[in-house]
């Protein structure tokens, strides 16, 4: 379980997060929703240690993560698939995965086989440079690269960005299956609230750095006010 | 056939290769640091020179060439690591001229300190192999055991670096840290440590180069021995593209050969002028290097 | 109201000027020296009166800059009359160095580029003066100096051309290569440049006889000449300062600062980026050449070893320590250079180092190199930036 307590982050004079608290339950998908600039990405970056908060803490079960470096936080089982995927384009698919597997307790071969099973297309392109992959394939590679380290928590930043609806649906389905079959805790940041709410069990909504809603996904999805004012969902 | 091997043009090519591998090594050491930290290490030559002094001046009376070489390499590793930790670390993310200025200042400090300790007079190093050219039908071929030793050493260094980067876990981490530092941290790579290691490797390559340069009977070891070599190495690296190790290798050797012809057929004083001209032209035609694909800067 | 304040200013200035003239006539022996001093005092006071008005500075910026330069030159010229020949010769060297530093400061301050080759550009100017003087000994000083500026500009253009497509470390490396290559280039044209031994001027640069006769008809020409050379250097530096101040403030200067801060944005606003960068490079090279030309006149000779790689690094140190990208920084750097040798000699004497020893001979490099690294790490704006910050902090209290 990831617990975020009283988190405040500022970049210079700009306050990106103000006193945000919520919990992401083990084995569940928690969606973090909100418009552009709501502080979603900052939230993930603070959890994984890339950004130092001005106040507040992040804890994984009993361990405090705040104040640790990102390379140590990932070793404690928090995988982060960053905004824009962060695939190293100059590397081959397999090199990207090997990099992710460095901190894995599992033998490399087994880890690779497992990922290729989940994402068969990566197995087909293992020798190809990541630069040649399509957007959806890149997202799969980024996820596989994080998963190969056997994390207990996966932070996903806008996985659907720039993907076709069909690909997005497929991706969301994979995430939901992964979660169900491995007991992985997922924090899913999405602007595309509709598809995120479909697979999430809980959802929190950020607006200008503040937490404005924290509830079961169905409730958030059916709250007209939230949908209109904060999520911009018009039907 | 034998007259061909001893002919003037073949001699130029052979001598050119011997000089060129040195430029390639300097260029390689610059590329190693540039790729990982976006810093052009102007103190590269001076650091290598200090390492060579440590290997040869400090141990001079007691040991043989190979022990000194190893000590020089170790000194290079240490100096590279210290430089990164003490000076360079404070320069990441600063305007791009700050590291330039700092490394030029460091260059001046190193050369002055070396001259203060070991004086400016040239010091001959023991030469492990004869510098006399081999003979073919009583005519010299422009290749001596020493020149061959230089070439072989350069090939070994480059092969080791290439294997390290391409086929080891450490190499993968080093490359990842250079290409995508933030993503690498998220995957557990200790990027700070990788940058230090990159500087250490580069400095060790530099130390080997400086030992080769100073072992040459005609050069010897002086505090400024590496200035000229550094200039040619930089020109090679810039022509080949500071991001490309293969480019560094190729342009170093090509530069060596071309300049040997210039020196032989024109005038030895014209060598660096021609090199400078080649640099200016190549930078204007292919700013990102003759051997790299160009990338556009964006907002 | 404005008129009243002006009147008060002028009354005060006239009173002060009268007092200064009176003091000169009482204090100084000969009538001619007293005339000289009076003129200097009146010019300084009038200039200062103009500059002290904020409205005047805002309404007539160019005239105000001219006034600042005139006052600076005037005061400097006056004080050289009271210094020893040694101090004056140091000052002359330092004034010429200030010109070089102005150029480099402009290059960095306006376009964010750096040159490690300005010692060699100085050499271009130094040899231009020597070569010309050896072929046409009668050409007036001002003309020879302008030719050194032109020569520096042309070489700067040749090397600066890649600046159209490149930036930062690549250019720095190229200028470094030029600095390292300079000795070989001089040798290549050995029949012109005199090879390793360099060139002597055919005759020393002397003060015109009317100047000598006016001020010091009795003293030997040797003393007069030591003052004359420092005066030439100071006047040249003053003119260079005036042009540089205008360049910094001009549309081009502001455009170049935009280039430095964000070149892509500058291009969107419609500033010809490559031209701005190359321009800055040419100006910097031309200024360096002017400084080098003056050095040849001051030393009466030029040797290639002066313009080696070490000089280029020293120039960089001075400009960074003084405060890169600023005009005061260049002047501070020049002053530091003028007296650094004396300070180091004093230091050597007081620490009991063998002045002929290895350590003493390398102190210069160790100190300048060390200060360069420390400045860029801990106070990247240099002395000028530090003083300015203190001043602003003090005023806002």
Residue B47 near residue B110, CB atoms below 8 Å: yes
Please compute, for residue C266, the number of CA atoms within 13 A of its CA located in the half-sphere on the CB side. 22
pLDDT at A38: 86
Task: Tell me what the mean pLDDT of segment B101-119 comes to.
Answer: 94
Tally of CB atoms within 10 A around B129: 14
CB contact under 8 A, C264 and B298: yes
pLDDT at C271: 62
- Which candidate, A12, A17, A29, places its Cα nearest to that of A184? A29
CB contact under 8 A, B275 and C112: no
* Three-state DSSP state, B94: coil
Residue C329 near residue C384, CB atoms below 8 Å: yes
Backbone torsions φ then ψ of B139, nearest 5 degrees: -120, 145
Residues 272-291 of B with CB under 8 A from C: 272-273, 275-276, 279-280, 283-284, 287
Low-confidence ranges of chain C (pLDDT < 70): 1-6, 28-29, 31-32, 167, 210-226, 252, 255-256, 258-272
Chain mean pLDDT for chain B: 89
Helices C169-188, B270-285: axis angle to 10 degrees equals 150
CA distances from B43 to B30, B49, B56, B84 (A): 10, 10, 20, 12
pTM to 2 decimals?
A: 0.88
Taken in order C379, C384, C387, C388, the sign of the CA dihedral is: negative
Residues 193-232 of B with CB under 8 A from C: 224, 227-228, 230-231
Residue B105 near residue B41, CB atoms below 8 Å: no
Burial of residue A109 (CB within 10 Å: 0-12, 13-18, 19+) is exposed
Q: At residue B220, does pLDDT exceed 90?
A: no
Q: In this complex, is the C-beta atom of B176 within 8 Å of any C-beta atom belonging to chain C?
A: no
pLDDT at C231: 86
Residue A211 near residue A20, CB atoms below 8 Å: yes
B44-69: burial string, b at 16+ Cβ within 10 Å, e else: bbbbbbbbbbbbbbbeeeebebeebb
- Give B295's pLDDT tier (boundaries 50, 70, 90): very low
Q: In this complex, is the C-beta atom of B180 within 8 Å of any C-beta atom belonging to chain A?
A: yes
Burial of residue C337 (CB within 10 Å: 0-12, 13-18, 19+) is buried
Which chain B residues are Cβ-neighbours of A86 within 8 angstroms? 180, 182-183, 186
Q: What are the extents of the domains in chain B?
A: 2-226
**Structure letter (DSSP) for residue C60:** -
**Nearest by CB: A80 against B173, B186, B189:** B186
Low-confidence ranges of chain A (pLDDT < 50): none
* ipTM tops 0.95: no
Taken in order C344, C345, C350, C353, the sign of the CA dihedral is: positive
Helix (H) or strand (E) holding C265: helix C263-269
pLDDT at C220: 47
Name the minimum distance, in Å, from the CA of A129 to any CA of chain B. Answer: 14
- Give B14's pLDDT tier (boundaries 50, 70, 90): very high
* Three-state DSSP state, B30: helix
Which chain B residues are Cβ-neighbours of C161 within 8 angstroms? 280, 284
Distance between CA atoms of residues B214 and B201, nearest Å: 20
Chain B residue with minimum CA distance to C164: B284
Q: Tens of pLDDT along B244-277?
A: 889 999 999 999 999 999 999 988 888 988 998 9
Q: In this complex, is the C-beta atom of A103 within 8 Å of any C-beta atom belonging to chain B?
A: yes
Per DSSP bridges, beta strands A202-207 and A210-216 are antiparallel
Distance between CA atoms of residues C383 and C332, nearest Å: 8
Helix (H) or strand (E) holding A146: helix A135-147
**Nearest by CB: A102 against B169, B180, B191:** B169
**Structure letter (DSSP) for residue B125:** P
Taken in order B94, B95, B98, B99, the sign of the CA dihedral is: positive
pLDDT at B251: 94
Please report, to the nearest 10 degrees, the dihedral formed by the alpha carbons of residues A89, A93, A99, A105 taken in order: 160
Helices C327-351, C382-395: axis angle to 10 degrees equals 110
Name the minimum distance, in Å, from the CA of A215 to any CA of chain B. Answer: 29
pLDDT at B296: 39
**Nearest by CB: C362 against B96, B97, B116:** B116
- Which candidate, A40, A8, A34, A11, places its Cα nearest to that of A21? A8
Name the minimum distance, in Å, from the CA of B167 to any CA of chain C. Answer: 31
In chain A, what are the domains? 2-83+152-229 (3.40.50.300)
Residue A4 near residue A214, CB atoms below 8 Å: no
CB contact under 8 A, A99 and B187: yes
Name the minimum distance, in Å, from the CA of A179 to any CA of chain B. Answer: 20
Residue A88 near residue A99, CB atoms below 8 Å: yes
Residues 104-163 of B with CB under 8 A from C: 104-113, 115-120
Residues 6+ apart with CB under 8 A from C339: C90, C94
Residues 27-66 of B with CB under 8 A from C: 39-40, 42
CB contact under 8 A, A69 and B185: yes
Residues 6+ apart with CB under 8 A from B24: B154, B158, B236, B248, B249, B250, B251, B252, B253, B256
pLDDT at C127: 95
Which chain B residues are Cβ-neighbours of C362 within 8 angstroms? 112-113, 115-116
**Structure letter (DSSP) for residue C12:** H
Chain B residue with minimum CA distance to A154: B186
Residue C369 near residue C320, CB atoms below 8 Å: no
Distance between CA atoms of residues A47 and A49, nearest Å: 5
Q: Tens of pLDDT along B153-193?
A: 999 999 999 999 999 999 999 999 988 999 999 999 999 99
Name the minimum distance, in Å, from the CA of A233 to any CA of chain B. Answer: 32
CB contact under 8 A, B101 and C158: no
Range from B231-240, B283-292, C182-191, C285-294 carrying the lowest mean pLDDT:
B283-292
Biggest alpha carbon–alpha carbon distance for chain C:
69
CB contact under 8 A, B189 and A86: no
Which chain B residues are Cβ-neighbours of C165 within 8 angstroms? 283-284, 287
Distance between CA atoms of residues B271 and B267, nearest Å: 7
Name the minimum distance, in Å, from the CA of C393 to any CA of chain B. Answer: 24
Residues 6+ apart with CB under 8 A from B56: B68, B72, B123, B125, B211, B214, B221
Integer Rg of chain A from CA: 17
């Amino acid at each position: 379980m990831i617990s975020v307590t009283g988190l405040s982050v500022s970049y210079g004079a700009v306050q990106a997060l103000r006193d945000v608290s919520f919990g992401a339950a083990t084995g569940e998908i928690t969606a973090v929703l909100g418009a552009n600039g709501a502080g979603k990405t900052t939230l993930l970056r603070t959890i994984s240690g890339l950004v130092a908060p001005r106040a507040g803490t992040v804890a994984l079960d009993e361990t405090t993560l705040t104040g640790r470096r990102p390379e140590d936080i990932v070793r404690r089982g928090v995988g982060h698939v960053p905004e824009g995927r962060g695939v190293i384009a100059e590397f081959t698919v397999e090199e990207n995965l090997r990099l992710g597997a460095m901190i894995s307790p599992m033998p490399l071969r087994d880890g690779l086989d497992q990922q290729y099973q989940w994402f068969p297309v990566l197995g087909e392109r293992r020798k190809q440079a990541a630069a040649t992959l399509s957007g959806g394939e890149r997202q799969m590679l980024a996820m596989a690269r994080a998963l190969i380290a056997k994390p207990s928590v996966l932070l996903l930043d806008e996985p659907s960005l720039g993907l076709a609806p069909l690909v997005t649906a497929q991706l969301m389905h994979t995430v939901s299956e992964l979660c169900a079959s491995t007991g992985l805790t997922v924090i899913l940041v999405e602007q595309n609230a509709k598809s995120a709410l479909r697979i999430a069990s809980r959802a929190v909504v950020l607006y200008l750095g503040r937490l404005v809603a924290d509830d079961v996904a169905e409730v958030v999805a059916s709250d007209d006010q939230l949908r209109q004012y904060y999520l911009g969902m018009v039907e | 056939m034998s007259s061909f091997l001893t002919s003037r043009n073949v001699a130029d090519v052979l001598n050119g290769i011997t000089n060129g591998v040195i430029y390639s090594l300097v260029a390689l050491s610059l590329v190693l640091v540039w790729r990982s930290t976006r810093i052009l290490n102007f103190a590269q030559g001076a650091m290598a020179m200090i390492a060579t002094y440590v290997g040869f001046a400090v141990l001079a009376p007691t040991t043989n060439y190979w022990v000194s070489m190893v000590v020089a390499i170790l000194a290079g590793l240490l100096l590279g690591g210290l430089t990164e930790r003490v000076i360079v670390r404070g320069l990441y993310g600063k305007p791009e001229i700050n590291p330039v200025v700092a490394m030029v200042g460091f260059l001046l400090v190193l050369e002055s300190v070396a001259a203060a300790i070991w004086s400016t007079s040239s010091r001959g190093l023991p030469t492990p192999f004869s510098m006399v050219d081999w003979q073919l039908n009583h005519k010299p071929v422009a290749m001596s055991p020493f020149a061959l030793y230089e070439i072989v050493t350069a090939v070994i260094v480059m092969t080791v670096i290439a294997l390290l980067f391409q086929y080891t876990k450490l190499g993968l981490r080093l490359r990842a840290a250079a290409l995508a530092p933030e993503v690498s941290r998220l995957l557990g790579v200790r990027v700070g440590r990788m940058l230090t290691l990159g500087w250490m490797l580069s400095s060790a390559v530099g130390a080997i180069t400086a030992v080769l340069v100073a072992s040459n009977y005609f050069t010897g070891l002086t505090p400024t021995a590496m200035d000229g070599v550094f200039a040619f190495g930089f020109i090679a690296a810039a022509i080949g593209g500071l991001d490309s190790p293969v480019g560094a290798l190729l342009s170093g050797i090509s530069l060596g050969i071309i300049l040997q012809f210039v020196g032989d057929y024109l005038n030895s004083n014209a060598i660096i002028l021609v090199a400078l001209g080649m640099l200016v032209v190549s930078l204007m035609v292919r700013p990102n290097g003759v051997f790299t694909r160009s990338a556009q800067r964006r907002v | 109201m404005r008129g009243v304040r002006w009147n008060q200013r002028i009354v005060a200035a006239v009173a002060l000027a009268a007092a200064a003239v009176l003091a000169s006539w009482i204090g100084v022996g000969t009538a001619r020296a007293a005339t000289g001093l009076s003129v200097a005092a009146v010019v300084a006071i009038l200039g200062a009166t103009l500059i002290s008005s904020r409205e005047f500075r805002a309404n007539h910026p160019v005239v105000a800059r001219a006034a600042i330069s005139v006052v600076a030159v005037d005061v400097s010229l006056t004080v050289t009359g009271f210094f020893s020949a040694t101090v004056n010769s140091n000052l002359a060297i330092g004034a010429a160095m200030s010109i070089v530093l102005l150029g480099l400061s402009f290059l960095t301050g306006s376009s964010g580029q750096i040159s490690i080759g300005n010692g060699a550009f100085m050499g271009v100017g130094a040899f231009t003066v020597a070569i010309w003087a050896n072929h046409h000994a009668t050409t007036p000083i001002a003309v020879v100096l302008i030719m050194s500026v032109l020569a520096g500009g042309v070489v700067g253009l040749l090397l600066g051309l890649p600046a159209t497509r490149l930036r930062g470390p690549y250019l720095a490396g190229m200028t470094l290569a030029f600095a390292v290559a300079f000795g070989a280039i001089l040798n290549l044209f050995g029949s012109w440049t005199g090879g390793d031994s360099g060139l002597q001027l055919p005759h020393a640069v002397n003060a015109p006889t009317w100047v000598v006769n006016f001020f010091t008809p009795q003293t030997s020409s040797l003393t007069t000449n030591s003052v004359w050379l420092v005066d030439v250097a100071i006047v040249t530096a003053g003119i260079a300062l005036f042009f540089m101040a205008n360049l910094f403030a001009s549309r081009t200067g502001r455009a170049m600062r935009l280039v430095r801060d964000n070149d892509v944005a500058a291009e969107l606003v419609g500033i010809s980026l490559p031209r701005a960068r190359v321009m800055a490079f040419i100006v910097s090279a031309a200024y360096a050449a002017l400084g080098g030309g003056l050095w040849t006149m001051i030393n009466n000779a030029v040797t290639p070893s002066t313009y080696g790689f070490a000089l280029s690094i020293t120039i960089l140190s001075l400009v960074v320590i003084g405060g890169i990208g600023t005009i005061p920084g260049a002047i501070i750097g020049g002053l530091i250079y003028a007296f650094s040798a004396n300070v180091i000699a004093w230091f050597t004497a007081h620490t009991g180092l063998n002045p002929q020893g290895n350590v003493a001979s390398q102190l210069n490099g160790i100190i300048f190199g060390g200060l360069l690294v420390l400045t860029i790490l801990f106070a990247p704006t240099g002395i000028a930036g530090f003083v300015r910050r203190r001043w602003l902090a003090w005023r806002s209290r």
